[in-house]
Structure 1
């Protein structure tokens, strides 16, 4: 397995210490939640732009021909590696419907580019089940292992697309980690010991878009 998959998956052989580690990878994210004509969430469009240090390490790992950049074939290999390695982490995406977690389906591809010294990833996710625009819905991007920090620089980087959303209200929530820990200490401790490599409690920490319809 290439190093990129280990990093983006939060280290495949994670230990309790690794799970509690501070972020080593930083990415600016954008998320567009799209409503279909049938009144359900049809897809989620993601754009991730990684920091220059991590991007440079990916070039070193995947630059097979040694030309100090990533050619189309090498970019495709990066995308395929991430496609496979992040599946068990739901591609860092948390969806809830009235508090209930909704799984995401595996995307067809992770598209990758390398511009101005930074690695970019573009991909589209779909909910793993029908997700009607009804009740309280939330959409967030967060690494459950805390190895990668996914940052939405502006509230405008979390958006809804489609006229069906006009009947809904929306807000961007940026949780305070200290408050989350204080309010959920017992649950987080139990979840950590059940699965120290990552838990679905990540949705508590995620910067997220909340929509009420």
Structure 2
């Protein structure tokens, strides 16, 4: 397996809040990162800002460019853009690990669990990309605005996927982002984390919490 610190991470939708925040943390952890966007110029602007802040060499391109060149692809787009984005990069990501962070939030009722016909966003992604992609689902339960800081975040990240080796690589990426990655089983189990996000939004509003997350109790050392 390729050394994770030499794996080029392509962040599709990397100009959004979650994508940029994850990219920033991975860059600071020593990972090479490429920023993607529907508009290459927008991706270049975000990459330039990350270059200046981190003193790293962050490359950029359109989502399709990033999907073709990167070794591991992270999808950080809203649910409303998920299908279009995945269809646009489907050919370029065959044989690669793709990490889908999509949560099926449907405004304005984002505090209510609303799942797609496929069962969850991860299964919808697998249907679009096909079995040639090693799909992993993760990063649903962490607030992007907290990731964008240098603060320690006491948050566990449930990582789902049918390919255990791919899942392990994403657990490592979660750890490198200053979180704790937890193996949470098959891709179909992603429904639990996706649904939980709406509950966390409700908890944040009800209790005036700034980005509530989740933590598992017990010794989870493998």
The TM-score range, normalised by the shorter chain, is under 0.3
More strand per residue: 1
Larger radius of gyration: 1
The TM-score, its normalising length taken from structure 1, stands at 0.24
- Greater relative contact order (Cα 8 A, min sep 6): structure 1 or 2? 1
Give the TM-score of the pair, scaled to structure 2. Answer: 0.24
